[in-house]
A and B are shown apart, each in its own frame.
Chain A
Amino acid sequence: MGGAPLADVTASDGSLRRFLHGLPGVDAVGLEARAASLGTRSIKTTAKAYAIDLAISMIDLTTLEGADTPGKVRSLAAKALHPDPTDRTVPTTAALCVYPDMVETAVASLAGSDVKVASVATAFPAGRTALAVKLADVRDAVAAGADEIDMVIDRGAFLAGHYLKVYEEIVAVKAECGAARLKVIFETGELSTYDNIRRASWLGMVAGADFIKTSTGKVAVNATPANTLLMLEAVRDFRAQTGVRVGVKPAGGIRTSKDAIKFLVLVNETVGEDWLDSHWFRFGASSLLNDLLMQRQKLSTGRYSGPDYVTVD
């Protein structure tokens, strides 16, 4: 493992800046063209059936609303366990993703299953609070039994060029996670340029992220094929350089099976089979699940059912 050279990278704000700005640039037109071109892959019959089940198994079924109640969380947990009550061959989702105060309810509802409990923390989604508060937020979620923590980076510090501050914060959060896996959310819509997204990806990975994640789902631009492709290239290159594998989670705005399958094609043709597993790739989504279930019913019965044949959350 090449840990030593990357340790040098974080020795100072200056060295970290030189490293991040030394990464190869991203040509926006070319990146988007490649993502669009992979979007024309035609995934049919057996390949489609495989992709739909894989996508279901990769969903972090998410509710992150001010109006969330224990009842809502229990209902979503039931859906994570049995996405289609009429068909027990449907896989469970990967995780249920909730706010820290709902972790306890989620853990109780999912007890005995393989479905993970993920919790956003660090003053999600803005992250604009003191580090001590963010760390307390993480501790709270971990203590309540969260298997995974989804943190947000300090975009203000990143855009101001204070990379070391962003780095140290991720390291501090990671230290609070214990056994929980850490997903680092960049809020790519706020970072704005692809060069920034590549730098943030490396910054997050060097700081110890288990997953890098596009967005909170709370801003105008969330996961796109292009930003996800770019992050897949980053985890591929990071593994080649350090031997460490990092997961990727596009979140927000992925609503249809067709979209989800396009993302799986990106995974397949960029990082390959190694990442085609819920341990290494996730979808942060809620309405996506019902569309996948409807497409799955269509494939197995030959007929489209309709929104009354899948459950509302």
Chain B
Amino acid sequence: MAFEYAPAPESRSVVDIAPSYGLFIDGEFTDAADGKVFKTVSPATEEVLSEVARAGAEDVDRAVKAARGAFAKWSALPGAERAKYLFRIARIIQERSRELAVLETLDNGKPIRETRDADLPLVAAHFFYYAGWADKLDHAGYGANPRPLGVAGQVIPWNFPLLMLAWKIAPALATGNTVVLKPAETTPLSALFFADICRQAGLPRGVVNILPGYGDTGAALVEHEDVDKIAFTGSTAVGKAIARQIAGTGKKATLELGGKGANIVFDDAPVDQAVEGIVTGIFFNQGQVCCAGSRLLVQESVQDELLDSLKRRLSTLRVGDPLDKNTDLGAINSAEQLARIRTLADAGEAEGAERWSPECELPASGYWFAPTLFTNVTQAHTVARDEIFGPVLSVLTFRTPEEAVAKANNTQYGLSAGIWTEKGSRILAVANRLRAGVVWANTFNKFDPTSPFGGYKESGYGREGGRHGLEAYLDV
């Protein structure tokens, strides 16, 4: 008899999802002015979770006015007072973390193991970290008494809904800005629960406003003349559109866009840990991670050995019900994203790359894509150049460190990279030459609020996290 793990589902009863949600403006939940709504579904089952108000231009105007109205008082509070609210929010997030983890898993499709062990602890950590900065801004390196910008318009993606909210809202509030945030249309729920947390924390009305909606809502927010700062995380195409839209307006912007991270494995790498790092790099959150290590660059001399180990390891990945505590790989976030992944994977095959997936049974309903490897990939293949944003790894080889660096940098993006070698001097030498915002050494996809994060080239500009993350929200 084999050791089969019995189902171990996390209970849904810890979260109470209302049949409908409004927009959160000036401390109140309200309907959209034009009464429009949209449905949000669980990508693992296609079950409708709730109906959510869809913000239009008029609602954006109301929300920006509320944020502007709250700005004078909020920014005039002593930093230590703002910090109290942020600490309170962080504590409430910790207390409600199980509920939020289940909610996020339901709305996003990612495994509960990740929301529980990665997303939620990082969300709380971000609020704790920036709470600590609120009364120390004089010492952040921007001179005495640096001023906030005003109203921040923030547009966040669906891959880490609550974590991206934390990355945006925590530094904005710590520095004294007020916020209008638009969550992604496929994952609005955790932001709406966050609105409730703001009320629970007694945050003054209008300091945080949440406007669920589609791209048009985001565009209206970016366009609004009384918004001082745009923070966007999402696709490069939308990022470019935003940059064009705000050109000449004086609005400050940070853009965190796509990536095609190179994970470079040298022949002296710690093999078993490198395999784990490759798996974490591309299959964490189903590969729907802007800094994913979606290109594996492996030294030709160890290619066969490494690929054997990697394939063996992929055969143990557990794909399925995201609420099961033993699931490693959950659902793709939306039908649209699944279609995009399929198109790109098919292009890889059509262009002659060799496709491999472990045997795995995918659920009948919902949006699913098996973990996939492409070997015999060259720099000229679509799967080596385009961001797939799914559980698809392209394997390329190199012969010398020079070739590894040249291939790693030969991309329109520049967000992340990884280096695997037991040789410390090689880590430093290679890292210095990689044009990527974050370079991990003998690890991958490690996040911490104290570390700045951001890209080169078409991966965007500006830094979030750490002391550097304050600059984006200060008039400096």
Contacts and interface: CB of A to CB of B under 8 A. Distances in A.
A47 B6 contact: yes
A268 B443 contact: no
A113 interface: no
A30 B277 contact: yes
Contact of B272 (A31, A42, A46): A31
Q: How large is the interface on A (under 10, 10 to 19, 20 to 34, 35 or more residues)?
A: 20 to 34
Interface in A12-26: 24-26
Interface stretch (A33-41, A128-136, A208-216): A33-41
A48 B5 CA distance: 8
A269 interface: yes
B99 interface: no
Contact of B117 (A30, A40, A233): A40
A47 B3 contact: yes
A52 to B, nearest CB: 12
Given A24-B270, A40-B325, A47 B5 contact: yes
Given A42-B325, A273-B2, A30 B270 contact: yes
A48 B3 CA distance: 9
B233 to A, nearest CB: 26
Interface residues of B: mostly helix, strand, loop or mixed? loop
B268 A264 contact: no
B424 to A, nearest CB: 11
Contact of A26 (B1, B117, B272): B272
A41 B272 contact: no
A47 B273 contact: no
A205 B5 CA distance: 31
Contact of B3 (A27, A30, A50): A50
Interface string A187-225: 000000000000000000000000000000000000000
A303 interface: no
A44 B11 CA distance: 14
B443 A30 contact: yes
Contacts of B272: 24, 26, 30-31, 34, 233
A26 B273 contact: yes
B8 interface: yes
Interface string B263-296: 0000011111100110000000000000000000
B113 interface: yes
Contacts of B61: none
B3 A276 contact: yes
A195 B1 CA distance: 34
A34 B273 contact: yes
A25 B270 contact: yes
Interface in A145-179: none
Interface in A263-277: 264-265, 268-269, 273, 276
Interface residues of B, number: 24
B113 A40 contact: yes
A24 B325 contact: no
A45 B4 CA distance: 11
| Residue in B3, B4, B7, B271 with the greatest tally of chain A CB atoms within 10 Å | B3
| Residue in B8, B272, B443 with the greatest tally of chain A CB atoms within 10 Å | B272
Contacts of A44: 5-8
A43 B6 CA distance: 7
Given A40-B325, A45-B6, A30 B273 contact: yes
B443 A29 contact: yes
A33 B276 contact: yes
B326 interface: yes
Nearest to A29: B443
A51 interface: yes
Contacts of A276: 2-3
B459 to A, nearest CB: 26
Interface string B1-30: 111111110000000000000000000000
B442 A27 contact: yes
B422 interface: yes
Interface of A: 24-27, 29-31, 33-34, 40-48, 50-51, 54, 233, 264-265, 268-269, 273, 276
Given A25-B268, A47-B6, A50-B3, 13 more contacts: A24-B268, A25-B269, A27-B273, A27-B442, A30-B272, A31-B273, A33-B276, A41-B5, A42-B5, A43-B5, A44-B7, A47-B4, A273-B2
16 contacts: A25-B422, A27-B270, A27-B442, A30-B276, A31-B272, A34-B273, A40-B117, A42-B8, A42-B325, A43-B5, A44-B5, A45-B6, A50-B1, A233-B272, A264-B3, A265-B3
